[in-house]
Amino acid sequence: MTAVTLTATPKGNGFQATIIFPGGVSISSAESYPTIAEAIAAAAMKLIEMPERLEALDHESDGKA
């Protein structure tokens, strides 16, 4: 099973969102958000805006990577 992790960690006076892909590749937002929920939502939207990453996840789970 392929797993993608969305996290929010404290940064400044808010939270920074991070997307962690299989193999240890991660993408963090440059900005911080006032709440954990907003940070996670922003990370999820960023992932949706990267269809090539989502397609790669499908190929990894199919064993076609």
Report DSSP state, residue 23.
G
- Sign (positive or negative) of CA dihedral 50, 52, 55, 56: negative
Report DSSP state, residue 65.
-
pLDDT value at residue 32: 93
Q: What is the pTM of this model?
A: 0.73
Instruction: Quick: pLDDT tens for 39-62.
Output: 999 888 888 888 887 787 777 766
Higher pLDDT, 1 or 17: 17
Instruction: Quick: pLDDT tens for 22-40.
Output: 888 888 888 999 999 999 9
CA distances from 26 to 5, 13, 18 (A): 9, 22, 7
| Summary mean pLDDT of the chain | 85
